[in-house]
Amino acid sequence: MPKILLVEDDPLIGRALTRLLTQEGFSPQHVTTLSEGRKAYREGLYDLVILDVNLPDGLGFELCREIREEDGEIPILFLTARGDEETAVKGLSAGACDFVRKPFPRQELILRIRKALKNAPDRLSVGELSVDRQKHEVKWKGKTIKLTPSEFEVLSILLEKSGNIVSLERLVERLDPEGEMMEKSVKSHLSRLKAKLVKAKVESVRIEAIYGQGYKLERA
């Protein structure tokens, strides 16, 4: 289930979009300010971000640029009542992949979201370490590293948030949305993943445990 961060200050629009996204099979989190959006993004794992331009404490362009500096691949869509070309250019220049003007047909927004998710890159890489999410394949210097599905997902998540801490709770949530997986199971997956990367002599990344906070993948 794709997770979507929705940053929209209008409570009526926010609630309506939250219901719509849920009905369409997405898992949305709605916040209303720039600071809340910044905090939610840093603490969560999302497949797509929807930003309003005018927010109570700033412009969505700011958060868009910050997200794009950390993640060059996550799709970002802007929603705005502004209809001028300059605003659209600013949004796209900040790193957005699409721009939707209010008011908009609901299904048009859903189609744009699905298109953005479909066009999201299937490959992640750090140096000579590459992850193909479509093929579920990991390679280091051209050689395949065999990982279990859970180990592969953990590596993908940490690569997505490269340089940022991912809490154990977030890893559990991403690996098992139904909440049946135990935290100790995720720790076991992490331990085995780290051992396999060491065995393969992967030099471009390392996974660090941050006491009391979670885990972080660092570029070596």
CATH of the domain at 89: 3.40.50.2300
Shared-domain flag, residues 159 and 68: no
Shared-domain flag, residues 127 and 105: no
Higher pLDDT, 75 or 181: 75
Where in the sequence is the domain holding 205, given as residue range(s)?
Answer: 123-219
Shared-domain flag, residues 54 and 104: yes
Q: pLDDT tens digits, residue range 117-154?
A: 887 767 777 878 888 877 788 999 889 999 998 899 89
Domain count along the chain: 2
Boundary of a domain, candidates 66, 95, 118: 118
Shared-domain flag, residues 129 and 211: yes
Higher pLDDT, 161 or 145: 145
Shared-domain flag, residues 10 and 111: yes
Shared-domain flag, residues 93 and 188: no
**Contact (Cβ atoms closer than 8 angstroms) between residue 87 and residue 53:** yes
Shared-domain flag, residues 104 and 179: no
Higher pLDDT, 212 or 92: 212
Say what percent of the chain tops pLDDT 70.
95
pLDDT at 36 over 80: yes
Shared-domain flag, residues 112 and 44: yes
Distance CA 156, CA 94 (A): 25
